[in-house]
């Protein structure tokens, strides 16, 4: 499995940086510091069968992941969100949440490289 990290998304955010405002680095730091718990909450909700919470949590992670170029993670969150809303039948949601957690770990490594 390869991590889909759209460098173009990162580049479009990088142009907003100035010497006084490391915008992209601040955004990455905020994402990494908040998303770890969100991903864990997503997995917990999925494993416990709380589909409503799973969908809400996936929704909150979907856009922030996409904005930083974590396209595959965002797509997984979109699928989990649809399952949580009852718009998609998929009984394998706990495994999908586990896969999203693995994808987040890989995305985290790639984003941490951007901070160096």
Residue reference for tokens 């790639």:
110
Report how far residue 79's alpha carbon sits from residue 59's, in angstroms, rounded to the nearest whole number: 10
pTM of the model: 0.90
State the pLDDT confidence band at 26, using cuts at 50, 70 and 90.
very high
Q: Which is nearest to 70 in space by CA: 1, 18, 4? A: 4
Residue 60 has pLDDT above 60, yes or no: yes
Ramachandran assignment for 49, one of left (phi > 0), alpha (psi -120 to 50 degrees), beta (any other) = left
Residue 80 has pLDDT above 70, yes or no: yes
Q: Which is nearest to 100 in space by CA: 67, 54, 68? A: 54
* Structural domains of the chain sorted by starting position, each given as residue range(s) with its CATH number in brackets: 7-114 (1.20.120.160)
State the pLDDT confidence band at 1, using cuts at 50, 70 and 90.
very low
Task: Quote the tokens at residue 56.
Answer: 């809400």
């Amino acid at each position: 499995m390869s991590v889909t990290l759209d460098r173009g998304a990162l580049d479009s955010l990088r142009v907003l940086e100035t010497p006084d405002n490391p915008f992209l680095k601040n955004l990455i730091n905020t994402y990494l510091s908040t998303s770890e718990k969100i991903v864990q909450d997503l997995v917990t909700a999925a494993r416990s069968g709380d589909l409503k919470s799973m969908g809400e949590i996936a929704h909150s992670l979907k856009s922030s992941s996409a904005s930083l170029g974590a396209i595959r993670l965002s797509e997984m969150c979109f699928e989990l969100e649809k399952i949580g809303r009852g718009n998609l039948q998929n009984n394998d949601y706990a495994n999908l949440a586990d896969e999203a957690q693995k994808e987040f770990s890989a995305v985290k490594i790639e984003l941490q490289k951007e901070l160096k």
